[in-house]
A and B are shown apart, each in its own frame.
Chain A
């Protein structure tokens, strides 16, 4: 297939004019270009703190609206009420004044949080801007740590995540606070409690509705199932009327099947219904929640680590990696990595890339490959070195074949 739109996808037609020049590798794309490409991958890095900031702004605003409106209607109500004594009126208004003062304090606290979150967004923009060709390896080290923290937070390894972030002084570059919110819900679901999950759904109602999320429905279903399990049919039916029926129009099939469980017991052997009673349903809810949570914050559904690790392994994977003599510097010489890469595609090369068996260095124009009379190929550097140490004698390290340095020929490999 043609991939002309790809920057690195060299066209597949051989170019005879350049083939006379012995080259082993295409020039690596410039560091700067690479940097720009890699910064483009940082959507989540900016998006998550922004969503967090936005959420705080909206919540603060809602508090103001609610409080002011309730103060005003409270005045109206007092004005319309008959027989309120003077003292009552004084008390009433005084309580409203202190209520407004309380609101101001709340608003100030809210502004402080907003400010911190805005600063976090800025810190991340600055961090992206700080990357340049000189400090790229240092910057990438931080990126590895960011990715590790992201993985740990998603996997609920909070302590390790916090420790790593603190020790590297990068709290502003990772989303520990955001995940703390998720932790509450996840912990509760793992204890088979739904209240925090439902509260979370209520908090994010409009956005969940917009993305057609059925998470709340699934939580409600599970609560219903627990009532059936407890053989509390009456309550189960009341619950279903109140909380499940509204989902009827969009989830009729599931609803009918779930209602039918009332007729069975949790010990049912009927496979359609049995599944509802399995404890792994709760794990399923946790997974569902994590997905909704990630979507809401503009995160990838997979941990960043999985995405980068898979990309790296795909790019590194060759048929030679699974052979016994794969060098240990290749991650794919290790069982763990081989296992992860098993169902990934092999990488593809359009041009020969030759690595010297002795020095493990790339053989290219500067260090061209030379052929021994037995057909074995090594780099010029390695062979010159060997010749110098052994009075011009060359010994093939793989076959023990011996010859003279002058018997070698340069191979032209395009």
Chain B
């Protein structure tokens, strides 16, 4: 985005402000100088009984100050500054969208709910003091459950950061059955990390002992992985230049950490990403389109507050796609239970209503709108996404 115009305009404001400010200093100095001169004159008059002298000086000073006409002096630079001060906001309104709340619907957006959402966001990210702080300041009831569960997760992660796997392993042992059900071999991954740590920093005997106790149970299911790990024994002390150097990469720690978060959240019944983060990010992507839509609708005097479905798509990245939406290419209707997607023998897909129309209510065969193939209703079957 072109910001140079805005920056230049701002620089002009600052320049005029500096000019105006130094003009103020100048005027004050001038006035001060005149007064000081007058003062010096009065002090230097010798006859203390003389009324005329200092009176004359004061009158002269008055005339002198009027001649300086300080306000006239200040006016010029102030005027230029004012012009720039009122120009700049106008430029901002032109360059940016001056009111993004045009896309906002004035519906009850319950702030207690929003506060809970924010607190949970902080807890999930591990910012427990922020979560507690907003709950406190807003006077919301505590959402203790989510907080303590996330607290455990972040303790595990903190320990992993300093390569302490104990808390992580304790959690894995406690949830072995569920992890297995999820198809996760996190336990093996954590033991491998621990084994590599010992191999690098501890004695050979320790490493062998560890392998016997903790890696051996996986030997049957994960033959190759275990063989690699054991092979490392031959290169102890020079692993970084061995064929197994890759096993030393910190990326293994990162991946295992990520998997732990994933599994932990999954067992909690929580999402991997903060739902608040996801919804706001969708807002970042969607708001520009919604604003354009709101403007178009306002111009056509259409109701923004009450509509049931947006009239146009708001394209979001694929990370925001959580549901299968089938849109019939002929009718543009969204698939539903009453009007499901149907697969034709040519493997093109239309919605049921479109097929009923084309077949004149299943009284005849029809040509696929997208290829030369013919089909009858009986040959079409419903799809489930």
A interface residues (Cβ-Cβ under 8 A, vs B): 1, 3, 5-10, 12, 14, 16, 19-20, 25-26, 28-29, 34-44, 46-47, 50-51, 54, 57, 60-61, 64-65, 68-69, 71-72, 75-76, 78-80, 83-84, 86-87, 89-90, 93-94, 96-97, 100-101, 103-104, 107, 111, 114, 118, 121-122, 125, 128-129, 140, 143-144, 147-148, 151-152, 155-160, 163-164, 167, 298, 300-302, 304-316, 318-321, 326-334, 336-337, 339-340, 343-355, 357, 360, 362, 369, 371, 375-377, 398, 409-414
| CB atoms of B32 and A100 under 8 A apart | yes
> Nearest Cβ in chain A — how far from B57, in angstroms?
8
| CB atoms of B381 and A375 under 8 A apart | yes
- Taken together as a complex, chains A and B put the C-alpha atoms of A19 and B330 apart, in Å, by 10
A-B contact pairs, 28 of them (CB 8 A): A8-B314, A19-B329, A40-B97, A43-B92, A46-B92, A61-B78, A75-B58, A75-B62, A90-B39, A94-B39, A97-B32, A100-B31, A107-B21, A107-B28, A125-B10, A157-B138, A306-B104, A308-B280, A309-B276, A311-B283, A311-B290, A312-B280, A316-B320, A329-B322, A345-B308, A351-B313, A355-B322, A411-B347
> Nearest Cβ in chain B — how far from A35, in angstroms?
7
> Nearest Cβ in chain B — how far from A113, in angstroms?
12
Number of A-B pairs, beta carbon distance below 8 Å: 417
- Taken together as a complex, chains A and B put the C-alpha atoms of A6 and B382 apart, in Å, by 34
User: Among the interface residues A61, A94, A160, A311, which one has the most CB atoms of the partner chain B within 10 A?
Assistant: A311
A3, A121, A353, A357: the one within 8 Å of B321 (CB):
A353
In chain B, positions 109-146 with a C-beta closer than 8 Å to chain A are 109-111, 113-114, 116-118, 120, 129-130, 133-134, 137-138
Contacts of A343 in B (CB 8 A): 105, 107-108
Given A12-B332, A89-B42, are A308 and B88 neighbors across the interface (CB < 8 Å)? no
B interface size (C-beta, 8 A): 136
Contacts of B182 in A (CB 8 A): none
B158 interface residue per 8 A CB criterion:
no
Nearest 9 pairs of A and B residues by beta carbon: A312-B283, A308-B283, A315-B286, A312-B282, A331-B275, A43-B96, A330-B322, A37-B288, A311-B283
| CB atoms of B39 and A93 under 8 A apart | yes
> Nearest Cβ in chain A — how far from B210, in angstroms?
31
| CB atoms of B1 and A78 under 8 A apart | no
B310 interface residue per 8 A CB criterion:
yes
8 extra interchain contacts, Cβ-Cβ under 8 A, other than A151-B118, A310-B103?
Answer: A6-B289, A57-B17, A64-B28, A83-B51, A316-B282, A337-B117, A344-B107, A348-B314
Contacts of B27 in A (CB 8 A): 64, 68
| CB atoms of B288 and A41 under 8 A apart | yes
- Residue of A with least CB distance to B269: A328
- Residue of B with least CB distance to A86: B54
Interface of B is mostly: helix
> Nearest Cβ in chain A — how far from B319, in angstroms?
9
- Taken together as a complex, chains A and B put the C-alpha atoms of A360 and B324 apart, in Å, by 10
A121, A157, A334, A371: the one within 8 Å of B383 (CB):
A371
- Taken together as a complex, chains A and B put the C-alpha atoms of A364 and B45 apart, in Å, by 99
- Residue of A with least CB distance to B63: A79
Interface of A is mostly: helix
- Taken together as a complex, chains A and B put the C-alpha atoms of A93 and B381 apart, in Å, by 102
| CB atoms of B384 and A398 under 8 A apart | yes
Contacts of B71 in A (CB 8 A): 65, 68-69
| CB atoms of B293 and A315 under 8 A apart | no
| CB atoms of A8 and B313 under 8 A apart | yes
B31, B283, B296, B302: the one within 8 Å of A68 (CB):
B31
| CB atoms of A314 and B288 under 8 A apart | no
| CB atoms of B39 and A348 under 8 A apart | no
Contacts of B107 in A (CB 8 A): 343-344
| CB atoms of B62 and A340 under 8 A apart | no
- Taken together as a complex, chains A and B put the C-alpha atoms of A413 and B313 apart, in Å, by 18
| CB atoms of B329 and A329 under 8 A apart | no
A41, A346, A409: the one within 8 Å of B310 (CB):
A346
B74-101 contact mask (Cβ, 8 Å, vs A): 1 or 0: 1000100100010011001101111111
- Residue of A with least CB distance to B133: A160
Contacts of A305 in B (CB 8 A): 114, 280
Given A47-B92, A331-B276, A351-B327, are A309 and B114 neighbors across the interface (CB < 8 Å)? yes
A41, A90, A157, A353: the one within 8 Å of B100 (CB):
A41
B interface residues (Cβ-Cβ under 8 A, vs A): 1, 3, 6-7, 10, 14, 17, 20-21, 24-25, 27-28, 31-32, 35-36, 38-39, 42-43, 45, 48, 50-51, 53-55, 57-59, 61-62, 65-66, 70-71, 74, 78, 81, 85, 88-89, 92-93, 95-101, 103-105, 107-111, 113-114, 116-118, 120, 129-130, 133-134, 137-138, 269-273, 275-293, 296, 302, 307-318, 320-327, 329-330, 332, 334, 336, 341, 343, 347-349, 369-371, 381-385
- Taken together as a complex, chains A and B put the C-alpha atoms of A100 and B116 apart, in Å, by 55
- Taken together as a complex, chains A and B put the C-alpha atoms of A86 and B327 apart, in Å, by 97
> Nearest Cβ in chain B — how far from A297, in angstroms?
11
Given A16-B369, A344-B107, are A306 and B114 neighbors across the interface (CB < 8 Å)? yes
B273, B292, B310: the one within 8 Å of A345 (CB):
B310
Contacts of A318 in B (CB 8 A): 322-323, 325
- Taken together as a complex, chains A and B put the C-alpha atoms of A322 and B283 apart, in Å, by 20
- Taken together as a complex, chains A and B put the C-alpha atoms of A16 and B348 apart, in Å, by 12
Contacts of A410 in B (CB 8 A): 347
- Residue of B with least CB distance to A301: B101
| CB atoms of B289 and A7 under 8 A apart | yes
- Taken together as a complex, chains A and B put the C-alpha atoms of A253 and B194 apart, in Å, by 80
- Taken together as a complex, chains A and B put the C-alpha atoms of A310 and B280 apart, in Å, by 8
> Nearest Cβ in chain A — how far from B142, in angstroms?
15
| CB atoms of A97 and B39 under 8 A apart | yes
| CB atoms of A314 and B31 under 8 A apart | no
A104, A301, A331, A340: the one within 8 Å of B25 (CB):
A104
> Nearest Cβ in chain B — how far from A271, in angstroms?
24
Given A163-B133, A315-B286, are A54 and B85 neighbors across the interface (CB < 8 Å)? yes
- Taken together as a complex, chains A and B put the C-alpha atoms of A54 and B381 apart, in Å, by 69
- Taken together as a complex, chains A and B put the C-alpha atoms of A69 and B66 apart, in Å, by 11
> Nearest Cβ in chain A — how far from B63, in angstroms?
9
B101, B130, B348: the one within 8 Å of A412 (CB):
B348
Given A307-B100, A327-B322, A355-B324, are A107 and B24 neighbors across the interface (CB < 8 Å)? yes
- Taken together as a complex, chains A and B put the C-alpha atoms of A161 and B345 apart, in Å, by 61
| CB atoms of A307 and B343 under 8 A apart | no
- Residue of A with least CB distance to B348: A412
